[in-house]
């Protein structure tokens, strides 16, 4: 029920926070040690709170480390990733005359997807993605790899709330 949110843009973080709260999820305060660890990875202007906003940083090696910091925390039960993948499909549509840039975006998306697959194996917590893309091919690729991906933060939060509800149902059956 305790959600960590990582966003590529502040406004999506606000939308996701509102959606999580509306669906009965807790957007938790981050422990001091989590904030300090993220402080080492993102620019000084980052939000210093949940939702974690990457503050326009483009160091993708560091950006890929932040979700792992959140997943390691005992304060977070689930991770909502916003804008972590999917920008390449938009970029390709509008940059046909810049193929190298588009190729770079696709490679970044692939590296991010591989990171999410690895986190799924390492951390027994749900990872839900809201992507910039409604491209069916990307959503299918993510789902095939066991990653729940949706085109809006509202849908992602609603699915996460249903997962929590299902977990609580299973716990009641087991007791």
Count CA atoms within 13 Å of residue 143 on its CB side.
Answer: 9
Q: What is the pLDDT of residues 109-134, one digit of tens each?
A: 788 888 989 998 999 999 999 886 66
pTM of the predicted structure, to 2 decimals: 0.86
Residue 15 near residue 153 (C-beta atoms within 8 A): yes
Cβ atoms within 10 Å of 139's Cβ, excluding its own: 20
Please tell me which residue, 11 or 60, carries the higher pLDDT value: 11
Q: What is the pLDDT of residues 63-87, one digit of tens each?
A: 889 999 999 999 999 999 987 776 5
> In angstroms, how far is the first alpha carbon of the chain from the final one?
19
Q: What percent of the chain is modeled with pLDDT above 70? A: 84
């Amino acid at each position: 029920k305790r959600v960590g949110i990582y966003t590529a843009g502040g406004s999506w973080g606000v939308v996701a926070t509102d959606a999580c709260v509306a669906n009965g999820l807790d957007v938790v305060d981050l422990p001091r040690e989590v904030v300090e660890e993220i402080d080492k990875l993102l620019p000084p202007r980052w939000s210093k709170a949940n939702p974690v906003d990457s503050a326009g940083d483009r160091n993708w090696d560091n950006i890929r480390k932040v979700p792992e910091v959140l997943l390691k925390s005992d304060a977070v039960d689930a991770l909502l990733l916003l804008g972590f993948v999917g920008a390449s499909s938009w970029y390709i549509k509008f940059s046909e005359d810049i193929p190298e840039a588009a190729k770079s975006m696709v490679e970044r998306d692939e590296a991010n997807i591989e990171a999410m697959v690895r986190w799924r194996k390492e951390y027994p917590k749900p990872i839900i993605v809201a992507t910039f893309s409604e491209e069916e091919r990307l959503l299918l690729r993510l789902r095939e790899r066991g990653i729940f991906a949706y085109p809006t933060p509202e849908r992602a939060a609603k699915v996460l709330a249903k997962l929590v509800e299902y977990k609580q149902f299973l716990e009641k059956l087991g007791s």
